[in-house]
Amino acid sequence: MDSVFFYRNNIKAASRSGALQKIKIALQPNISVAGWPTETGSNALAGFKALENATVAEHAVKAGAQLIGYTRMSEFGFGLKNSMAGSVLQKKAADVELVLDLAGEARLAALRAGVCGFKPRYGLLSRFGLAGLIPSMEAISILSMSIKNIRGILQAVAGADERDSSMPEGKTPDLKPTKIDPKKIKIGVIKDILREMPANERESFEKKLNELEKAGFAVKELSFPDFSQFLAVHQIVGSVEASSCAGRYDSVRYGKREPQAKNWNEMYLSSRGAAFGTLLKSYLIQGAYFQFESYAAYENACRLRARLVAQMKNLTAQADFIILPAVNQAASENPATLAETYTQFIYTAFANVTGQPVLFLPDKSGAGFQFTAARLGDGQLLSLGEYLQGGGEK
C-alpha cells in the first residue's frame, strides 16, 4: 500500500501546451476528477467515483498540467489525522498539491512538510466539484516548494464560475507580481498574540520580527483583544454547517450501505452510524446540538463573526501585511478529541472565519510564519512571499 498516495493515475494524458505544461499536480480525494475514487477519506463515500471534473481540476488540465493522483487525507479534510498532505512534495513526486483548508489544515501540512502553503481568499477559487464540509469557511489551497508555482496555479485555475454561487461575478483579479520595496511596507504584529505566547515561541517569533526590520520593513504593533474569539466562532458555526452539509451522505445514492438492515429507516440509521469516524462524528453531533438545542449560541456566534470580520478589516487597513505564528507548539501532535484538534488551529482559524488570504512560509527555525493581508490582497501576498524567498521583484 502506498503511504502517500490513495490513488495513482496511471493513464498518461496527451501532452497539452499551456501555462502549466509539465507541472505535476497531486490532489486530495475530495476534489473531483472524472472516474477517480473521490472518497474523501471517509466511509461515507466509499466506492464513489466522480462523474465530472471539479472546476479547478478542469482549468488545470486545460492549462497543460498533469494530474498524477490523490494523496491520503483526513476524513473530509477535518484535522490532520491520516493526512499525508505535503509529503508528495517532500518526495518530489509532484510540483504542486491542492489541499482543502477548513481551519488551517493546509498551512499546518505545509509547515510539517517544510513547503509554502497558500489559502486564497474565499470566492477566488471555485468550489464546484469539491466534496466540502464547511461551505462558508473552506478553501481549496495550494502547497508547493515555490511561490512562483503557487502563483502560476492560481492564475490558471482562478476565475468566475456560475456553478459556484458563492463566487463573485466579474473578471479574474490581477494576480501578476508587484514590486516589493521594504522601505514602503508596514508589517503589523498583533500584540495580544505575542502576550499569550510561551516564552520560547515568543523568542523565535520576535527574532523573525527583528530580521524583517533589518531587511527594511517597518514593524508596527496592532491591538486585537478579541483575536482568541475566532476559535470559538469557528467551532460553533463550522460544526453547524458541517452537520447540515453531512446530511447528504445518507448511503441511498452513494456511499457505504449497511447490508443487514431490515427496512429503510434501519438502513438509514445504521449506515449513517457507520459512515463517519469518531472525531468527525463528535463534530457533527456538536453541530446538531447548536442547531436544535442551543440555537441562540449559534446566532450569537454568527453576530460575533460579523464583528470579528469588521475588526480584522480595520486591522488590515493599518498595515500592508500582518505576520502571525502558525503552530501552537502546546497542541497535541496526535489529537484524540475535538478540543485537542481545535487547539492546533489557534493561530490559523481566523482566516477561514474572515475569508481573507493567508500565506505560510517555512523558516529555518522549523516553526514557519503566516502572512495575511486585506481581503483582496492575494497577489500582493504572493509578491511578498517571493521577495522573502529571494526571488521576487525588487
The string of pLDDT tens digits covering residues 330-354 is 787 788 899 999 999 999 999 999 9
For residues 88-108, average pLDDT: 98
For the cut 80, the answer to whether the pLDDT of residue 213 exceeds it is: yes
Q: CATH number of the domain at 5-175, out of 3.90.1150.10, 3.90.1300.10, 3.50.50.60, 3.50.70.10?
A: 3.90.1300.10
For the cut 90, the answer to whether the pLDDT of residue 192 exceeds it is: yes
For residues 378-384, average pLDDT: 97
Percent with pLDDT over 90 in the chain = 80
Q: Is the dihedral of CA 259, 260, 263, 268 positive or negative?
A: negative
For residues 62-88, average pLDDT: 97
Which of these ranges, 69-83, 168-182, 207-221, 238-252, has the smallest mean pLDDT? Answer: 168-182
Tell me the average pLDDT of the chain. 93
Q: How far is CA 141 from the centre of its chain?
A: 5
Neighbours of 322 (CB within 10 A): 26
C-alpha distance from residue 210 to each of 13, 76, 187, 373 (Å): 48, 39, 12, 20
For the cut 60, the answer to whether the pLDDT of residue 394 exceeds it is: no
Which amino acid appears at position 364 of this protein?
K
For residues 225-252, average pLDDT: 94
For residues 364-369, average pLDDT: 85
C-alpha cell at 77: 479534510
Whole-number Å distance between alpha carbons of 341 and 267: 31
Whole-number pLDDT of residue 390: 83
C-alpha cell at 270: 445504521
Whole-number pLDDT of residue 150: 98
Burial class (CB in 10 A: 0-12, 13-18, 19+), 112: buried
Cell numbers 483526513 correspond to what residue?
74
pLDDT interval class at 69 (50, 70, 90): very high
Q: Is 358 helix (H, G, I), strand (E, B) or coil?
A: strand
Whole-number pLDDT of residue 14: 65
**pLDDT tens digits, residue range 129-164?**
999 999 999 999 999 999 999 999 999 999 889 999
218: nearest Cα among 206, 230, 210: 210
For the cut 80, the answer to whether the pLDDT of residue 252 exceeds it is: no
55: nearest Cα among 176, 156, 169: 156
Whole-number Å distance between alpha carbons of 110 and 362: 8
Contacts of 18 (CB under 8 A, 6+ apart): 62, 63, 64, 65, 156
Whole-number pLDDT of residue 15: 67
Contacts of 31 (CB under 8 A, 6+ apart): 38, 54, 56, 57, 98, 100, 129, 130, 131, 140
**232-238-240-242 Cα dihedral, nearest 10 degrees:** -150
Whole-number pLDDT of residue 1: 60
Count how many residues are written for the chain. Answer: 394
Whole-number pLDDT of residue 29: 98
C-alpha distance from residue 358 to each of 99, 139, 283, 324 (Å): 14, 11, 25, 10
Cell numbers 512538510 correspond to what residue?
113
Whole-number Å distance between alpha carbons of 149 and 249: 35
For the cut 60, the answer to whether the pLDDT of residue 37 exceeds it is: yes
DSSP 193: H
Cell numbers 490558471 correspond to what residue?
156
pLDDT interval class at 391 (50, 70, 90): low
**pLDDT tens digits, residue range 256-288?**
777 777 787 777 777 777 889 999 999 999 999
pLDDT interval class at 87 (50, 70, 90): very high
Contacts of 334 (CB under 8 A, 6+ apart): 81
Contacts of 150 (CB under 8 A, 6+ apart): 96, 116, 118, 142, 144, 382, 385
Whole-number Å distance between alpha carbons of 75 and 44: 9
Domain boundaries, given as residue ranges, for the chain = 5-175
Whole-number Å distance between alpha carbons of 358 and 347: 11
Which of these ranges, 50-54, 200-204, 252-256, 317-321, has the smallest mean pLDDT? Answer: 252-256
Count CA atoms within 13 Å of residue 142 on its CB side. 32
Whole-number pLDDT of residue 4: 96
Helices then strands, counting H and E runs in the chain, come out as: 13, 11
**pLDDT tens digits, residue range 109-127?**
999 999 999 999 999 999 9
Whole-number pLDDT of residue 250: 79
Which of these ranges, 26-35, 87-96, 180-189, 328-337, has the smallest mean pLDDT? Answer: 328-337
223: nearest Cα among 196, 187, 189: 189
**Rounded to the nearest 5°, which phi and psi values hold at 287?**
-65, -40
